[in-house]
Amino acid sequence: MIDKKHDDGKFIRPLAFIGIAAIIIISFSFFILWRIDNPRAELIRIAVIDKIVPNLDWAITPATKVSQMAQNFQNYKRLYDQNQELRNELQKMRSWREAALQLEQENARLLDLNKVKLNPKLNYVSGKILVDSGNIFRQSAIINLGSLDGIVEGWAAMDGLGLVGRISGVGKKTSRVLFLTDTSSNVPVLIKPSNQRAILSGDNSIQPNLLFIENNKQIQPGDRILTSGDGGVFPANLLIGQVSLNNLNQFKAQLSANFSGLEYLRIIRHSPNATINQPSRLIGPALTKAESDD
Partner 1 sequence: MIKSYKTKVLLNQSLYFLIFILGHFILLAPISLVPVNILLPEIMLLITLVLIIRNPDYVPIWLIFLVFMLSDFLLTKPLGLNTFITIIITEFVRRNRPAFIEMLFFSEWLLIAIILLLASISKQILLIFTLSERQNWINIFPQIGVDILIYPIIVGLVRIIFKVKKSEESISYSIRNRS
> Among 11, 67, 97, 280, which residue interacts with partner 1 (rule: CB under 8 A)?
67
Site string for partner 1, 161-180 (x = CB under 8 A): ------------------x-
Least distance from partner 1 to the Cβ atom of residue 156, Å: 16
Does 124 bind partner 1 (CB under 8 A)? Our answer is: no
* Residues in 102-121 that interact with partner 1 by CB under 8 A: none
Of 179, 172, 69, nearest to 129 by C-alpha is 179
Does position 74 interact with partner 1 (CB under 8 A)? The reply is no
Instruction: Enumerate helices (H) and strands (E) in the chain, giving the number of each.
Output: 4, 12
Binding mask 205-244 for partner 1 (x = CB under 8 A): xx--------------------------------------
Q: How far is residue 291's CA from residue 288's CA, in Å, rounded to a whole number?
A: 6
Q: CA nearest 265: which of 173, 175, 138?
A: 175
Q: Give Dmax over CA atoms of the chain in angstroms.
A: 94
Which of 162, 188, 185 lies closest to 240 in space, CA to CA? Answer: 162
Strands (E), 40-82: none
DSSP-derived letter for residue 240 is E
- Based on the shown chain and the rule CB under 8 A, indicate whether residue 181 belongs to the binding site for partner 1: yes
3-state percent helix, strand, coil for the chain, nearest multiple of 5: 45, 25, 35
Residues in touch with partner 1 (CB under 8 A): 1, 3, 6-7, 12-13, 16, 19-20, 23-24, 26-31, 33-35, 41, 44-45, 48-49, 52-53, 56, 59-60, 63-64, 67-68, 71, 129-141, 179, 181, 184, 204-206, 259-260, 262-263
